[in-house]
Chain A
Protein backbone atom coordinates (compact mmCIF):
# COMPACT_ATOMS: atom_id res chain seq x y z
CA UNK A 1 0.00 0.00 0.00
CA UNK A 2 1.03 3.53 -0.72
CA UNK A 3 1.73 5.51 2.38
CA UNK A 4 -0.03 8.82 2.25
CA UNK A 5 2.68 11.29 1.27
CA UNK A 6 3.30 14.11 3.68
CA UNK A 7 2.23 17.48 2.42
CA UNK A 8 5.00 19.89 1.63
CA UNK A 9 3.75 22.40 4.15
CA UNK A 10 3.88 19.84 6.92
CA UNK A 11 7.40 18.93 5.90
CA UNK A 12 8.36 22.59 6.02
CA UNK A 13 6.82 22.99 9.46
CA UNK A 14 8.61 19.90 10.63
CA UNK A 15 11.98 21.06 9.32
CA UNK A 16 11.75 24.51 10.88
CA UNK A 17 10.85 22.78 14.13
CA UNK A 18 13.90 20.56 13.81
CA UNK A 19 16.12 23.57 13.04
CA UNK A 20 14.63 25.44 15.99
CA UNK A 21 15.19 22.60 18.41
CA UNK A 22 18.73 21.96 17.16
CA UNK A 23 19.72 25.60 17.53
CA UNK A 24 18.30 25.63 21.04
CA UNK A 25 20.17 22.41 21.81
CA UNK A 26 23.35 24.18 20.69
CA UNK A 27 22.54 27.13 22.93
CA UNK A 28 22.17 24.78 25.86
CA UNK A 29 25.43 23.04 25.13
CA UNK A 30 27.13 26.40 24.59
CA UNK A 31 25.97 27.88 27.87
CA UNK A 32 23.82 25.66 30.06
CA UNK A 33 23.95 28.20 32.89
CA UNK A 34 22.22 30.94 30.90
CA UNK A 35 19.72 28.82 29.01
CA UNK A 36 18.41 26.85 31.93
CA UNK A 37 17.45 29.99 33.84
CA UNK A 38 14.33 32.07 33.40
CA UNK A 39 16.09 35.43 32.91
CA UNK A 40 16.98 34.94 29.27
CA UNK A 41 13.44 33.82 28.43
CA UNK A 42 12.11 36.88 30.21
CA UNK A 43 14.25 39.05 28.00
CA UNK A 44 13.13 37.11 24.88
CA UNK A 45 9.49 37.48 25.88
CA UNK A 46 9.87 41.23 26.07
CA UNK A 47 11.78 41.77 22.81
CA UNK A 48 10.80 39.03 20.33
CA UNK A 49 7.06 39.91 20.11
CA UNK A 50 7.87 43.04 18.08
CA UNK A 51 9.47 41.24 15.15
CA UNK A 52 7.19 38.22 15.54
CA UNK A 53 3.95 40.21 15.15
CA UNK A 54 5.42 42.12 12.20
CA UNK A 55 6.61 38.90 10.58
CA UNK A 56 3.24 37.18 11.01
CA UNK A 57 1.48 40.10 9.40
CA UNK A 58 3.93 40.46 6.51
CA UNK A 59 3.59 36.72 5.82
CA UNK A 60 0.12 37.45 4.42
CA UNK A 61 1.62 39.78 1.82
CA UNK A 62 4.35 37.28 0.99
CA UNK A 63 1.67 34.60 0.48
CA UNK A 64 0.34 36.85 -2.28
CA UNK A 65 3.77 36.67 -3.91
CA UNK A 66 4.32 40.30 -2.99
CA UNK A 67 6.51 42.24 -0.60
CA UNK A 68 6.22 45.11 1.86
CA UNK A 69 9.40 46.92 2.89
CA UNK A 70 7.67 49.95 4.31
CA UNK A 71 6.42 48.53 7.61
CA UNK A 72 9.35 49.76 9.77
CA UNK A 73 8.81 53.32 8.53
CA UNK A 74 5.03 53.03 8.91
CA UNK A 75 5.70 51.78 12.44
CA UNK A 76 7.80 54.83 13.22
CA UNK A 77 5.36 57.30 11.71
CA UNK A 78 2.33 55.85 13.48
CA UNK A 79 4.30 55.60 16.73
CA UNK A 80 5.03 59.31 16.38
CA UNK A 81 1.28 59.93 15.94
CA UNK A 82 0.71 57.88 19.08
CA UNK A 83 3.28 59.87 21.06
CA UNK A 84 2.16 63.23 19.71
CA UNK A 85 -1.55 62.63 20.33
CA UNK A 86 -0.88 61.31 23.80
CA UNK A 87 1.35 64.23 24.68
CA UNK A 88 -1.15 66.73 23.32
CA UNK A 89 -4.32 65.26 24.82
CA UNK A 90 -3.25 62.89 27.56
CA UNK A 91 -5.93 60.61 26.12
CA UNK A 92 -4.44 57.17 25.67
CA UNK A 93 -7.39 55.43 23.95
CA UNK A 94 -7.51 58.31 21.46
CA UNK A 95 -3.76 58.02 20.85
CA UNK A 96 -4.12 54.28 20.23
CA UNK A 97 -6.99 54.74 17.80
CA UNK A 98 -5.22 57.55 15.94
CA UNK A 99 -2.06 55.47 15.68
CA UNK A 100 -3.86 52.39 14.34
CA UNK A 101 -5.86 54.49 11.91
CA UNK A 102 -2.75 56.17 10.53
CA UNK A 103 -0.93 52.84 10.16
CA UNK A 104 -3.90 51.32 8.34
CA UNK A 105 -4.09 54.38 6.08
CA UNK A 106 -0.39 54.02 5.22
CA UNK A 107 -1.11 50.42 4.24
CA UNK A 108 -4.00 51.62 2.13
CA UNK A 109 -1.71 54.03 0.29
CA UNK A 110 0.62 51.11 -0.47
CA UNK A 111 -2.34 49.19 -1.83
CA UNK A 112 -3.30 52.07 -4.10
CA UNK A 113 0.18 52.09 -5.61
CA UNK A 114 0.27 48.32 -6.02
CA UNK A 115 -3.31 47.37 -6.81
CA UNK A 116 -4.66 50.36 -8.69
CA UNK A 117 -1.61 52.01 -10.23
CA UNK A 118 0.12 48.70 -10.85
CA UNK A 119 3.55 49.39 -9.34
CA UNK A 120 5.30 46.14 -8.34
CA UNK A 121 5.01 45.85 -4.56
CA UNK A 122 8.77 45.70 -3.94
CA UNK A 123 9.28 48.94 -5.84
CA UNK A 124 6.23 50.69 -4.42
CA UNK A 125 7.17 49.93 -0.84
CA UNK A 126 10.79 51.04 -1.32
CA UNK A 127 9.18 54.36 -2.15
CA UNK A 128 6.84 54.38 0.84
CA UNK A 129 9.64 53.14 3.09
CA UNK A 130 11.64 56.31 2.38
CA UNK A 131 8.54 58.46 2.31
CA UNK A 132 7.30 57.59 5.81
CA UNK A 133 10.78 57.58 7.32
CA UNK A 134 11.27 61.01 5.80
CA UNK A 135 7.89 62.09 7.10
CA UNK A 136 8.67 61.01 10.64
CA UNK A 137 12.04 62.76 10.50
CA UNK A 138 10.34 65.95 9.38
CA UNK A 139 7.52 65.95 11.91
CA UNK A 140 9.69 64.80 14.82
CA UNK A 141 12.55 67.15 13.87
CA UNK A 142 14.95 64.46 15.02
CA UNK A 143 13.58 64.62 18.55
CA UNK A 144 12.13 61.77 20.60
CA UNK A 145 9.01 61.88 22.75
CA UNK A 146 9.00 60.71 26.33
CA UNK A 147 5.99 58.61 27.30
CA UNK A 148 6.76 58.22 30.97
CA UNK A 149 3.36 59.81 31.63
CA UNK A 150 1.69 56.75 30.11
CA UNK A 151 3.04 54.34 32.69
CA UNK A 152 0.21 54.66 35.19
CA UNK A 153 -2.52 54.03 32.58
CA UNK A 154 -4.52 50.81 32.40
CA UNK A 155 -3.81 50.53 28.68
CA UNK A 156 -0.10 50.62 29.43
CA UNK A 157 -0.52 47.48 31.51
CA UNK A 158 -2.66 45.91 28.81
CA UNK A 159 0.02 46.49 26.17
CA UNK A 160 3.33 46.02 27.96
CA UNK A 161 2.59 45.34 31.63
CA UNK A 162 4.11 42.42 33.48
CA UNK A 163 1.57 39.73 34.26
CA UNK A 164 2.16 38.42 37.76
CA UNK A 165 5.24 40.58 37.69
CA UNK A 166 7.01 38.16 35.35
CA UNK A 167 5.30 37.64 31.98
CA UNK A 168 5.49 40.65 29.62
CA UNK A 169 2.05 41.41 28.22
CA UNK A 170 3.49 41.75 24.71
CA UNK A 171 4.34 38.06 24.88
CA UNK A 172 0.63 37.33 25.27
CA UNK A 173 -0.06 39.62 22.32
CA UNK A 174 2.46 37.66 20.28
CA UNK A 175 0.82 34.33 21.13
CA UNK A 176 -2.60 35.77 20.32
CA UNK A 177 -1.25 37.13 17.04
CA UNK A 178 0.16 33.70 16.21
CA UNK A 179 -3.20 32.03 16.80
CA UNK A 180 -5.03 34.78 14.98
CA UNK A 181 -2.87 34.77 11.85
CA UNK A 182 -2.61 30.97 11.84
CA UNK A 183 -6.38 30.65 11.88
CA UNK A 184 -6.80 33.46 9.38
CA UNK A 185 -4.51 31.87 6.80
CA UNK A 186 -5.61 28.27 7.02
CA UNK A 187 -9.14 28.35 8.33
CA UNK A 188 -10.68 31.63 7.26
CA UNK A 189 -12.22 32.52 3.93
CA UNK A 190 -9.85 35.46 3.60
CA UNK A 191 -6.82 33.18 4.03
CA UNK A 192 -8.03 30.81 1.34
CA UNK A 193 -8.55 33.75 -0.98
CA UNK A 194 -5.01 34.97 -0.26
CA UNK A 195 -3.61 31.55 -1.09
CA UNK A 196 -5.63 31.44 -4.30
CA UNK A 197 -4.63 34.91 -5.45
CA UNK A 198 -0.97 34.22 -4.60
CA UNK A 199 -1.13 30.93 -6.44
CA UNK A 200 -2.94 31.97 -9.60
CA UNK A 201 -4.46 35.39 -9.90
CA UNK A 202 -6.40 34.65 -13.10
CA UNK A 203 -7.95 31.51 -11.66
CA UNK A 204 -8.84 33.38 -8.50
CA UNK A 205 -10.63 36.06 -10.52
CA UNK A 206 -12.51 33.43 -12.56
CA UNK A 207 -13.62 31.79 -9.33
CA UNK A 208 -15.20 35.03 -8.24
CA UNK A 209 -12.54 36.07 -5.73
CA UNK A 210 -12.21 39.84 -5.48
CA UNK A 211 -8.49 39.97 -6.22
CA UNK A 212 -8.09 43.72 -5.72
CA UNK A 213 -9.92 43.69 -2.41
CA UNK A 214 -7.83 40.77 -1.13
CA UNK A 215 -4.60 42.61 -1.98
CA UNK A 216 -5.85 45.86 -0.50
CA UNK A 217 -6.76 44.22 2.81
CA UNK A 218 -3.39 42.45 2.90
CA UNK A 219 -1.49 45.73 2.71
CA UNK A 220 -3.81 47.51 5.11
CA UNK A 221 -3.40 44.89 7.80
CA UNK A 222 0.40 45.21 7.58
CA UNK A 223 -0.02 48.94 8.22
CA UNK A 224 -2.28 48.21 11.20
CA UNK A 225 0.14 45.62 12.60
CA UNK A 226 3.07 48.01 12.18
CA UNK A 227 1.15 50.67 14.10
CA UNK A 228 0.27 48.16 16.81
CA UNK A 229 3.91 47.12 17.20
CA UNK A 230 4.74 50.82 17.18
CA UNK A 231 2.59 51.24 20.28
CA UNK A 232 4.09 48.17 21.97
CA UNK A 233 7.71 49.08 21.28
CA UNK A 234 7.20 52.73 22.23
CA UNK A 235 5.51 51.87 25.51
CA UNK A 236 8.05 49.14 26.34
CA UNK A 237 10.79 51.77 26.60
CA UNK A 238 8.33 54.65 27.32
CA UNK A 239 10.06 56.60 24.61
CA UNK A 240 9.44 57.34 20.96
CA UNK A 241 12.47 57.94 18.75
CA UNK A 242 12.43 58.74 15.02
CA UNK A 243 14.63 55.85 13.88
CA UNK A 244 12.33 53.40 15.61
CA UNK A 245 11.63 50.15 13.77
CA UNK A 246 14.66 50.29 11.51
CA UNK A 247 16.17 47.18 13.00
CA UNK A 248 13.01 45.18 12.38
CA UNK A 249 13.01 45.09 8.59
CA UNK A 250 15.58 42.38 8.01
CA UNK A 251 14.79 40.36 11.13
CA UNK A 252 11.08 40.19 10.37
CA UNK A 253 11.65 39.23 6.73
CA UNK A 254 14.30 36.71 7.78
CA UNK A 255 11.76 35.18 10.15
CA UNK A 256 9.26 34.79 7.30
CA UNK A 257 11.73 33.09 4.97
CA UNK A 258 13.50 30.99 7.60
CA UNK A 259 9.98 29.92 8.54
CA UNK A 260 9.51 28.41 5.09
CA UNK A 261 7.02 30.72 3.38
CA UNK A 262 7.75 30.95 -0.32
CA UNK A 263 8.55 34.26 -1.96
CA UNK A 264 6.69 33.03 -5.06
CA UNK A 265 3.37 33.10 -3.25
CA UNK A 266 0.51 30.63 -2.96
CA UNK A 267 1.85 28.97 0.16
CA UNK A 268 2.81 30.06 3.62
CA UNK A 269 3.02 28.85 7.17
CA UNK A 270 2.31 30.91 10.25
CA UNK A 271 3.81 28.25 12.49
CA UNK A 272 7.00 28.57 10.44
CA UNK A 273 7.00 32.35 10.72
CA UNK A 274 6.35 32.12 14.45
CA UNK A 275 9.23 29.71 15.04
CA UNK A 276 11.37 31.69 12.61
CA UNK A 277 10.81 34.82 14.67
CA UNK A 278 11.63 33.03 17.93
CA UNK A 279 14.80 31.73 16.31
CA UNK A 280 15.93 35.01 14.75
CA UNK A 281 15.02 36.86 17.92
CA UNK A 282 17.01 34.62 20.24
CA UNK A 283 20.02 34.08 17.99
CA UNK A 284 21.92 37.14 19.09
CA UNK A 285 21.67 36.39 22.79
CA UNK A 286 22.41 32.74 22.11
CA UNK A 287 25.56 33.50 20.19
CA UNK A 288 26.88 35.95 22.76
CA UNK A 289 26.15 33.69 25.71
CA UNK A 290 27.83 30.78 23.95
CA UNK A 291 31.01 32.78 24.31
CA UNK A 292 31.36 33.84 20.68
CA UNK A 293 32.09 37.49 20.10
CA UNK A 294 29.46 39.86 18.68
CA UNK A 295 31.30 39.77 15.35
CA UNK A 296 29.83 36.32 14.77
CA UNK A 297 26.20 37.40 14.92
CA UNK A 298 25.53 38.48 11.35
CA UNK A 299 27.68 35.66 10.02
CA UNK A 300 25.60 33.05 11.81
CA UNK A 301 22.35 34.80 10.87
CA UNK A 302 23.42 34.60 7.26
CA UNK A 303 24.46 30.98 7.54
CA UNK A 304 21.17 29.99 9.12
CA UNK A 305 19.13 31.77 6.48
CA UNK A 306 21.16 30.32 3.62
CA UNK A 307 20.89 26.79 4.96
CA UNK A 308 17.17 26.95 5.69
CA UNK A 309 16.11 28.53 2.39
CA UNK A 310 18.30 26.05 0.47
CA UNK A 311 16.57 23.22 2.29
CA UNK A 312 13.15 24.59 1.39
CA UNK A 313 14.14 25.19 -2.23
CA UNK A 314 15.29 21.56 -2.46
CA UNK A 315 12.01 20.36 -0.96
CA UNK A 316 9.99 22.46 -3.40
CA UNK A 317 11.97 21.15 -6.35
CA UNK A 318 11.63 17.52 -5.30
CA UNK A 319 8.00 17.57 -4.38
CA UNK A 320 5.71 15.15 -6.08
Chain B
Protein backbone atom coordinates (compact mmCIF):
# COMPACT_ATOMS: atom_id res chain seq x y z
CA UNK B 1 0.00 0.00 0.00
CA UNK B 2 1.37 3.42 -0.85
CA UNK B 3 1.50 5.87 2.02
CA UNK B 4 -0.58 8.92 1.37
CA UNK B 5 1.04 11.78 3.26
CA UNK B 6 -1.05 14.50 1.72
CA UNK B 7 -3.45 15.20 4.57
CA UNK B 8 -3.87 18.01 7.05
CA UNK B 9 -4.54 16.06 10.23
CA UNK B 10 -3.61 12.55 11.23
CA UNK B 11 -6.97 12.20 12.95
CA UNK B 12 -10.03 14.36 12.81
CA UNK B 13 -13.45 14.02 14.42
CA UNK B 14 -16.38 16.11 13.24
CA UNK B 15 -19.61 16.46 15.18
CA UNK B 16 -19.24 13.17 17.00
CA UNK B 17 -22.08 12.21 19.34
CA UNK B 18 -22.20 9.25 21.69
CA UNK B 19 -24.87 8.38 24.18
CA UNK B 20 -25.48 5.44 26.49
CA UNK B 21 -29.24 5.09 26.77
CA UNK B 22 -30.44 8.57 27.66
CA UNK B 23 -27.06 9.82 28.82
CA UNK B 24 -25.44 11.99 26.17
CA UNK B 25 -21.79 11.54 26.97
CA UNK B 26 -20.36 13.18 23.83
CA UNK B 27 -22.30 16.06 22.31
CA UNK B 28 -20.86 17.11 19.00
CA UNK B 29 -17.13 16.72 19.35
CA UNK B 30 -14.82 18.46 16.86
CA UNK B 31 -11.33 17.30 17.56
CA UNK B 32 -8.13 16.71 15.67
CA UNK B 33 -4.59 15.47 16.11
CA UNK B 34 -1.85 16.75 13.81
CA UNK B 35 1.16 14.95 12.43
CA UNK B 36 3.84 14.44 15.08
CA UNK B 37 1.71 16.20 17.62
CA UNK B 38 1.08 15.35 21.26
CA UNK B 39 -2.41 16.43 22.26
CA UNK B 40 -3.37 16.52 25.92
CA UNK B 41 -7.02 15.81 26.53
CA UNK B 42 -8.05 17.25 29.88
CA UNK B 43 -11.28 17.53 31.79
CA UNK B 44 -13.08 16.62 34.97
CA UNK B 45 -14.01 13.08 36.00
CA UNK B 46 -16.86 11.91 33.82
CA UNK B 47 -16.29 14.61 31.20
CA UNK B 48 -16.22 11.93 28.53
CA UNK B 49 -12.48 11.64 27.81
CA UNK B 50 -12.32 7.87 27.90
CA UNK B 51 -15.52 7.62 25.90
CA UNK B 52 -14.08 9.95 23.27
CA UNK B 53 -10.99 7.85 22.78
CA UNK B 54 -13.03 4.64 22.76
CA UNK B 55 -14.97 5.93 19.77
CA UNK B 56 -11.62 6.31 18.02
CA UNK B 57 -10.43 2.84 18.94
CA UNK B 58 -13.59 1.00 17.98
CA UNK B 59 -14.70 0.00 21.50
CA UNK B 60 -17.75 2.28 21.13
CA UNK B 61 -19.45 3.35 17.96
CA UNK B 62 -20.47 6.99 17.65
CA UNK B 63 -24.20 7.63 17.20
CA UNK B 64 -23.47 10.49 14.86
CA UNK B 65 -20.51 12.29 13.35
CA UNK B 66 -17.55 11.59 11.15
CA UNK B 67 -14.05 10.38 11.81
CA UNK B 68 -11.16 10.89 9.39
CA UNK B 69 -7.80 9.16 9.62
CA UNK B 70 -5.00 10.30 7.33
CA UNK B 71 -7.54 12.28 5.38
CA UNK B 72 -9.78 9.29 4.73
CA UNK B 73 -13.28 9.09 6.13
CA UNK B 74 -13.44 5.92 8.20
CA UNK B 75 -16.05 4.01 10.16
CA UNK B 76 -14.36 2.06 12.87
CA UNK B 77 -16.28 -1.12 13.50
CA UNK B 78 -13.83 -2.90 15.73
CA UNK B 79 -10.73 -2.63 17.83
CA UNK B 80 -8.94 -4.87 15.37
CA UNK B 81 -9.72 -2.42 12.61
CA UNK B 82 -8.41 0.63 14.46
CA UNK B 83 -5.24 -1.27 15.23
CA UNK B 84 -4.83 -2.21 11.61
CA UNK B 85 -5.09 1.51 10.78
CA UNK B 86 -2.20 2.18 13.15
CA UNK B 87 -3.90 3.26 16.37
CA UNK B 88 -2.62 1.80 19.64
CA UNK B 89 -4.18 2.43 23.01
CA UNK B 90 -3.27 2.16 26.65
CA UNK B 91 -6.66 2.08 28.32
CA UNK B 92 -7.35 3.55 31.72
CA UNK B 93 -8.58 0.09 32.74
CA UNK B 94 -5.28 -1.41 31.43
CA UNK B 95 -7.19 -4.12 29.58
CA UNK B 96 -5.23 -7.01 31.04
CA UNK B 97 -6.49 -10.42 32.11
CA UNK B 98 -5.36 -11.18 35.65
CA UNK B 99 -5.12 -14.95 35.58
CA UNK B 100 -3.28 -15.10 32.28
CA UNK B 101 0.46 -15.08 31.78
CA UNK B 102 2.31 -12.03 30.50
CA UNK B 103 3.08 -13.68 27.19
CA UNK B 104 -0.63 -14.23 26.58
CA UNK B 105 -1.54 -10.71 27.65
CA UNK B 106 1.09 -9.11 25.47
CA UNK B 107 -0.38 -10.56 22.29
CA UNK B 108 -4.04 -10.71 23.31
CA UNK B 109 -6.26 -10.38 20.28
CA UNK B 110 -3.40 -10.61 17.77
CA UNK B 111 -1.50 -13.74 18.56
CA UNK B 112 1.41 -14.87 16.42
CA UNK B 113 -0.05 -17.94 14.77
CA UNK B 114 0.47 -20.29 11.87
CA UNK B 115 -2.15 -20.92 9.19
CA UNK B 116 -3.99 -23.32 11.51
CA UNK B 117 -4.30 -20.65 14.17
CA UNK B 118 -1.82 -22.41 16.44
CA UNK B 119 0.15 -19.97 18.55
CA UNK B 120 3.91 -19.69 18.19
CA UNK B 121 4.40 -19.83 21.94
CA UNK B 122 8.19 -19.68 21.73
CA UNK B 123 8.20 -16.51 19.73
CA UNK B 124 5.52 -14.83 21.84
CA UNK B 125 7.57 -15.61 24.92
CA UNK B 126 10.78 -14.42 23.33
CA UNK B 127 9.24 -11.12 22.23
CA UNK B 128 7.61 -10.63 25.61
CA UNK B 129 10.91 -11.29 27.35
CA UNK B 130 12.65 -8.74 25.15
CA UNK B 131 9.95 -6.15 25.83
CA UNK B 132 10.08 -6.79 29.55
CA UNK B 133 13.81 -6.32 29.84
CA UNK B 134 14.47 -3.72 27.17
CA UNK B 135 11.47 -1.47 26.68
CA UNK B 136 9.82 -1.74 30.05
CA UNK B 137 13.03 -2.06 32.01
CA UNK B 138 11.66 -4.76 34.32
CA UNK B 139 14.52 -5.88 36.48
CA UNK B 140 12.74 -7.99 39.07
CA UNK B 141 13.77 -11.63 38.69
CA UNK B 142 10.45 -12.64 40.20
CA UNK B 143 8.65 -11.50 37.06
CA UNK B 144 8.96 -13.75 34.06
CA UNK B 145 7.00 -14.07 30.84
CA UNK B 146 5.06 -16.86 32.56
CA UNK B 147 4.01 -14.71 35.52
CA UNK B 148 0.33 -14.11 35.88
CA UNK B 149 -0.66 -10.45 35.72
CA UNK B 150 -2.35 -10.63 39.13
CA UNK B 151 1.03 -10.88 40.84
CA UNK B 152 2.29 -7.63 39.32
CA UNK B 153 2.29 -4.28 41.11
CA UNK B 154 0.06 -1.50 39.77
CA UNK B 155 3.03 0.19 38.13
CA UNK B 156 4.21 -3.05 36.56
CA UNK B 157 0.75 -3.66 35.14
CA UNK B 158 0.84 -0.27 33.50
CA UNK B 159 4.30 -1.03 32.22
CA UNK B 160 2.88 -4.08 30.51
CA UNK B 161 -0.05 -2.15 29.04
CA UNK B 162 2.25 0.56 27.73
CA UNK B 163 4.88 -1.87 26.50
CA UNK B 164 2.21 -3.74 24.60
CA UNK B 165 1.05 -0.56 22.85
CA UNK B 166 4.63 0.32 21.91
CA UNK B 167 5.47 -3.06 20.54
CA UNK B 168 3.05 -2.68 17.67
CA UNK B 169 4.53 0.26 15.86
CA UNK B 170 1.59 2.71 15.56
CA UNK B 171 1.05 6.15 14.04
CA UNK B 172 -1.25 7.32 16.81
CA UNK B 173 -0.76 6.24 20.38
CA UNK B 174 -3.50 6.95 22.89
CA UNK B 175 -2.56 7.02 26.55
CA UNK B 176 -5.46 7.20 29.00
CA UNK B 177 -4.09 8.11 32.45
CA UNK B 178 -0.77 6.39 31.83
CA UNK B 179 0.90 7.85 34.91
CA UNK B 180 -1.85 7.05 37.37
CA UNK B 181 -0.43 5.27 40.39
CA UNK B 182 3.14 5.26 39.13
CA UNK B 183 6.24 6.04 41.15
CA UNK B 184 8.35 9.08 40.26
CA UNK B 185 10.88 7.10 38.26
CA UNK B 186 8.20 5.16 36.44
CA UNK B 187 6.34 8.39 35.64
CA UNK B 188 9.53 9.85 34.26
CA UNK B 189 9.88 6.88 31.94
CA UNK B 190 6.36 7.33 30.61
CA UNK B 191 6.92 11.04 29.99
CA UNK B 192 10.21 10.36 28.23
CA UNK B 193 8.46 7.83 26.13
CA UNK B 194 5.73 10.31 25.21
CA UNK B 195 8.36 12.72 23.98
CA UNK B 196 10.01 10.00 21.93
CA UNK B 197 6.72 9.41 20.11
CA UNK B 198 7.02 12.90 18.65
CA UNK B 199 10.67 12.43 17.79
CA UNK B 200 9.71 9.42 15.73
CA UNK B 201 7.25 11.53 13.79
CA UNK B 202 4.26 9.88 15.42
CA UNK B 203 1.36 11.42 17.31
CA UNK B 204 -0.29 10.85 20.66
CA UNK B 205 -3.35 11.67 22.70
CA UNK B 206 -2.42 11.96 26.35
CA UNK B 207 -5.09 11.98 29.05
CA UNK B 208 -4.17 12.89 32.60
CA UNK B 209 -5.42 14.89 35.56
CA UNK B 210 -1.91 15.90 36.47
CA UNK B 211 -0.82 19.20 34.86
CA UNK B 212 2.77 18.70 35.93
CA UNK B 213 2.83 15.60 33.79
CA UNK B 214 0.83 16.95 30.90
CA UNK B 215 2.26 20.39 30.44
CA UNK B 216 5.85 19.48 29.61
CA UNK B 217 4.78 16.57 27.40
CA UNK B 218 2.05 18.13 25.27
CA UNK B 219 2.00 20.47 22.26
CA UNK B 220 -1.64 21.40 22.62
CA UNK B 221 -4.39 21.16 25.21
CA UNK B 222 -7.96 20.24 24.42
CA UNK B 223 -10.39 20.78 27.25
CA UNK B 224 -13.44 18.58 27.47
CA UNK B 225 -16.30 19.62 29.72
CA UNK B 226 -19.49 17.58 30.14
CA UNK B 227 -19.30 16.09 26.67
CA UNK B 228 -18.34 19.28 24.82
CA UNK B 229 -15.05 20.82 23.78
CA UNK B 230 -14.62 23.83 26.05
CA UNK B 231 -11.21 24.96 24.89
CA UNK B 232 -8.32 24.27 22.54
CA UNK B 233 -4.98 26.01 23.16
CA UNK B 234 -1.42 25.59 21.98
CA UNK B 235 1.28 25.34 24.59
CA UNK B 236 2.98 28.35 23.03
CA UNK B 237 -0.11 30.43 23.85
CA UNK B 238 -0.47 29.55 27.51
CA UNK B 239 1.72 29.08 30.56
CA UNK B 240 1.24 26.19 32.93
CA UNK B 241 -0.05 28.51 35.66
CA UNK B 242 -2.57 30.08 33.28
CA UNK B 243 -3.77 26.67 32.20
CA UNK B 244 -4.30 25.56 35.80
CA UNK B 245 -6.02 28.87 36.56
CA UNK B 246 -8.36 28.53 33.59
CA UNK B 247 -9.21 24.95 34.49
CA UNK B 248 -10.14 26.12 37.96
CA UNK B 249 -12.34 28.82 36.45
CA UNK B 250 -13.98 26.22 34.26
CA UNK B 251 -14.80 24.06 37.25
CA UNK B 252 -16.25 27.07 39.09
CA UNK B 253 -18.05 29.02 36.35
CA UNK B 254 -18.40 26.52 33.52
CA UNK B 255 -16.40 28.77 31.19
CA UNK B 256 -12.80 28.16 30.12
CA UNK B 257 -11.17 31.56 30.32
Chain A interface (Cβ < 8 Å from any Cβ of B) = 2, 4, 7-8, 183, 187-190, 192-193, 195-196, 199-200, 202-210, 266-267, 320
Q: Which residues of B contact A267 (CB under 8 A)?
A: 99
Contacts of A190 in B (CB 8 A): 117
Q: Which residue of B lies closest to A210 (CB)?
A: B78
Please encode chain B, from 77 to 106, with 1 for each CB lying within 8 Å of some chain A CB and 0 for all others.
Answer: 011100100000101011111111000100
Give bound CA distance, A160 to B118, whole Å. Answer: 30
CA separation between A190 and B113, bound complex, in Å? 11
Contact of A192 among B94, B96, B98, B104 (CB under 8 A): B104
Residues of A close to B150: CB separation below 8 A: 320
Q: Are B99 and A205 in contact (CB under 8 A)?
A: no
Q: A187-B118, A208-B79, A320-B150 are in contact. Are A196 and B113 (CB under 8 A)?
A: no
Query: Which 7 A-B pairs give the minimum distances between C-beta atoms?
Result: A208-B79, A208-B109, A199-B97, A207-B109, A206-B95, A207-B108, A208-B80
Q: State which of B59, B98, B141 has its C-beta within 8 Å of the C-beta of A206.
A: B59
> Hey, which chain A residues are within 8 Å of B108, CB to CB?
192, 196, 203-204, 207-209
Instruction: Indicate whether B146 reaches chain A with its CB closer than 8 angstroms.
Output: yes
- Minimum CB–CB distance from A319 to chain B (whole Å) comes to 8
Chain A proximity of B78: nearest CB distance (Å): 6
Q: Chain B residues with Cβ under 8 A from A200's Cβ?
A: 96-98
The contact of B109 among A8, A209, A320, by CB within 8 Å, is A209
Pick from B89, B116, B142: contact of A2, CB below 8 A: B142
A302 nearest CB across to chain B (Å): 28
Asked whether, in the complex, the Cβ of A208 is within 8 Å of the Cβ of B78, the reply is yes
| Contact assessment for A206 and B91 in the assembled complex, using a CB-CB cutoff below 8 Å | yes
Complex interface: chain B residues within 8 A of A202 (CB): 93, 95
13 A–B contacts from the bound complex (CB under 8 Å): A2-B141, A7-B148, A189-B111, A189-B119, A192-B111, A195-B97, A195-B104, A199-B100, A203-B94, A203-B97, A203-B108, A208-B109, A320-B151
Q: Tell me the smallest distance from the CB of B101 to a CB of chain A, in Å.
A: 8
Cβ contacts under 8 Å, B80 to chain A: 208
